A and B are shown apart, each in its own frame.
Chain A
Amino acid sequence: MAEPALIPDLARGPASRHGADPSPGVWRTGRLMTGLKARLTVATLTRSPGMIVGTILGGLWGLGVLFMIGTGLFAAAGALPPEGTRATAVLVGAAATVAWWVAAIASGRADATLHASQFALFPLPRKGIALGQVLGALVGIAGPFTLVGLLLYTAVWRLDATAWVTAVVLLPAGWLLMVVGNRCFTALAERLAAKRRVGEILTLLLLVLLMLTGPILTGLFTGVESLGARIYTVTDVVAWTPVGALWAVPADVAAGAWLPALARTGIAAVTLAALLWLWRGALGKSLENATGAVVSGGGRSQVKGAGLFDRLPARPWAAVAARCLTYWVKDPRYSGSLVVVPVMFVLFWFMSGGGGGLWFFAGPLVGLLMAYTISGDVAYDHKGFALHILTGVPGWADRLGRVVGMLLPGIPLTALGVLLAAGFSDAWELLPAMIGVSALALLGGAGLSSVMSARYTYPVPLPGQSPFKTPQGFTVLNVLIQFVALTLMGVLTLPALIPFVIQLVTGSAAAGVISLLVGVIAGPLLCAGGIWLGGRWIEARAPELLNTVSAYR
């Protein structure tokens, strides 16, 4: 017989003090959460002196961009016919709305400030949490900027007083549409991302989409000679969509077209209501499943044996390479780079209209990208780097393994870039020089990364985080490190690049051979030198390095 005294009497219900305390109301919750968000914003922006400088510079930059957009819209109103003004207003408004919504999925698990699951333990009303999240956006970073941006945006209607007044009146509604959509999609994305693999694939897809935005948009608007007519058709369609309807209302009101104005306002209202309804559901789910438990998807993926560790030689450097390569495949922070490369090829193809021009530099650029990725390698390891220290792996083996892990996908991808470049431009006589420059970029860059990352690091997204996550705690030094690393890598390729350019200009085949020789001789030498020197540095300062990278959050 169990001792009943030990079991709390759950049946007592309201008579018990459990949960009898009155929970704060909707408005008070909203106010509390807004205050919390304001404090978090201030704390984030003033974490360190370096951060304050960054905040001021970033703020000035943001204001500058807003000012430019505002000036552009102001000028557009004067320069364009009324239909042009309407098209500008609708398309810019719709694009900003879409940007806000898509940003939600991009940041995904990243911006969890005020996320509902953090408040699951507190007896807060759901509506209050929602209110807090919307009001909280006002005291965040993007929210105020958007508000200022929207104010500037109304300048597009400056020539028509009626439209301008309507736009100003509708401004809060527009802002609300953006923010509520953002919160709603954040909550939905969170639900999706709970299946890790799904979340990761979504992230990678988005990365591709973002990179291809330019070509896709250009493709939509160009190709046909009558650009103007096309834009107006697009505008008319967009003006009836949930993201565009609201932005077209001022034009309707100004034209006295009351029925369309009413209909579009209706569309916007229904959209807002639908978003609120969806958000309510997702919020409820987040509050009920607040443990943050990640489901690894149907039939937990099992690695057979020791995976790549069985395939590569049983040496410390090869073990490091196997580990790095596993991460290149499995960790979106690395595999993002692998996905980006083919997309880069598409971009080159698009921008150079088939062959020539930029294509010539496809190989070297891929090489640089791959080499640069490992300049943050120790920071990507984060606390895992402790294992390398504890096992006493020699510094050169640590460096060599990382370089080999990068080169295994890096060499084929760079070679593909070179071959595609030569093929599409039908410039096979440039092949030796392109190989030379690419070899120097990839191998010399890898050498430089090996040295840089042994001492100088910068914050990166932590293990398990989305590659889109903006790491916190950037200092002026970190930015300088990245700048210097990239500049040095560029400078490093000059000895092969200069003869290559000479060949491009004069057609001298000898210059191409010189480029090839410089690349295939200096590249491996620089790489080996970088591994040796980086190894020395890392052995001298491994604990300090671990201290620095494990403090990133």
Chain B
Amino acid sequence: MAVSLRGLTKVFGPGTSRSKVAVNRLSLDVPHGAFYGLVGRNGAGKTTALSMLTGLLRPTEGRAMVSGIDVWGQSRQARHAMGVLPDGMTFFERLSGRQLVTYAGLLRGMDRDTVAQRTDDLLRAMDLTNDGGTAVQDYSAGMRKKIMLAAAMVHAPGLLVLDEPFEAVDPVSAANIRELLQDFARAGGTVIVSSHVMDLVQRMCDHVAVVDDGRLLAAGTVDQVRGSQSLEDTFVELVGGRTQVGEGLTWLSPR
């Protein structure tokens, strides 16, 4: 398995009155070469779970393994096996785009020529060649996502963990990146993306896991999970909580 999570649990503020279980005994297997979608509502625990997988957040309980390596035991090896696009994080934004990707490569101990070569390729793939010398703080939200994605890929990892990779990315770039990721998966790489855009997941991923309230509701191939319906309908059914649109806000109409 490329990734296996066993009873992964995160409790924020344990033992206090504001104690909150963000991820609740989550177990999940991601096979090698899978393009895995992780879907859930806002606040379902997707980002918390992925942070525990990528070594950014220590689990309260449970284990996370990447290709058999324990993320919290042999963290250095596990980190080299992954490329990560975290959500809600910003990297060093006073660096230029090219500098940021170079920095990520050099931090991983790569040699200068390889880093320079791959940085050029990645900037081209992300349509950022002309902005390579501009400080990341002057980038738009979509450009930031793309440069962070490039920084996650520069060391050619076997596993990509991407938290909301397409948020704010323009459709052309998104299509390019999607194709790139699909080629990567076809060649045996493993991709995990989190999203709440069901259409995208249904079209792009071959596997999907549905998370709500910190728990795993369903997991498997996209076809297994959705059955004969669309993924969006299955998701809404699983998660529930649809308000009766149209009755609630009758006053919300022009004129």
Residues of A at the B interface (CB closer than 8 Å) are 8, 16-18, 294, 296, 300-307, 309-310, 314-316, 318-320, 322-323, 326-327, 330-331, 381-384, 386-394, 463-464, 543-544, 546-547, 550
Contacts and interface: CB of A to CB of B under 8 A. Distances in A.
B99 A303 contact: yes
A392 B108 contact: yes
Contact of B95 (A326, A389, A393): A326
A390 B96 contact: no
B242 interface: no
B115 interface: yes
Which residue, A301, A384, A393, has most C-beta atoms of chain B within 10 A?
A: A384
B117 interface: no
A463 B80 CA distance: 27
A393 B98 contact: no
13 contacts: A16-B255, A306-B99, A309-B103, A314-B115, A319-B103, A320-B107, A327-B92, A381-B92, A382-B90, A384-B91, A386-B86, A464-B93, A543-B57
Nearest to B81: A392
B56 A543 contact: yes
A302 B112 CA distance: 21
Contact of B108 (A318, A330, A381, A391): A391
A543 B58 contact: yes
Contacts of B138: 294, 296, 300
B254 interface: yes
A17 B82 CA distance: 54
A550 B89 contact: yes
Nearest to B130: A302
B133 A314 contact: no
Contact of A306 (B89, B111, B116, B152): B116
Contacts of A543: 55-58
Interface size class of B (residues with CB under 8 A): 35 or more
A304 B254 contact: no
Contacts of B190: none
Contacts of A296: 135, 138
B84 interface: yes
Contacts of A323: 92, 95, 99, 103
A294 to B, nearest CB: 8
A389 to B, nearest CB: 6
A326 B94 contact: yes
Given A16-B255, A547-B57, A387 B80 contact: no
A390 B80 CA distance: 8
Nearest to A304: B133
Given A304-B133, A386-B89, A543-B57, 19 more contacts: A16-B254, A301-B135, A303-B133, A303-B134, A314-B110, A316-B108, A319-B106, A319-B107, A322-B103, A323-B92, A323-B103, A387-B151, A389-B55, A390-B84, A391-B104, A392-B75, A392-B79, A393-B107, A463-B93
Contacts of A393: 107-108
B187 to A, nearest CB: 23
B3 to A, nearest CB: 16
Nearest to A398: B107
B171 interface: no
A250 to B, nearest CB: 51
Contact of B96 (A294, A307, A322): A307
B50 to A, nearest CB: 12
Nearest to B107: A391
B24 interface: no
Contacts of A300: 134, 138
Given A309-B99, A323-B92, A464-B93, A390 B79 contact: yes
B79 to A, nearest CB: 3
Contacts of B255: 16-17
B102 interface: yes
Contacts of B90: 382-384, 463
Nearest to B137: A464
A411 to B, nearest CB: 23
Contacts of B112: 310, 314
B13 interface: no
Which residue, A8, A315, A381, A387, has most C-beta atoms of chain B within 10 A?
A: A387
A134 B173 CA distance: 47
B98 A305 contact: yes
Interface string B144-158: 000000011001000
B212 to A, nearest CB: 24
A314 B110 CA distance: 8
Given A316-B109, A383-B89, A391-B104, A330 B94 contact: yes
B55 A309 contact: no
A382 B86 CA distance: 14
B186 interface: no
Contacts of B98: 303, 305-306
A384 B152 CA distance: 14
In the A-B complex, the 6 residue pairs with the smallest Cβ-Cβ separation, listed nearest first, are: A392-B79, A302-B133, A319-B106, A314-B112, A391-B107, A303-B96
B101 to A, nearest CB: 9
B6 interface: no
A391 B109 CA distance: 9
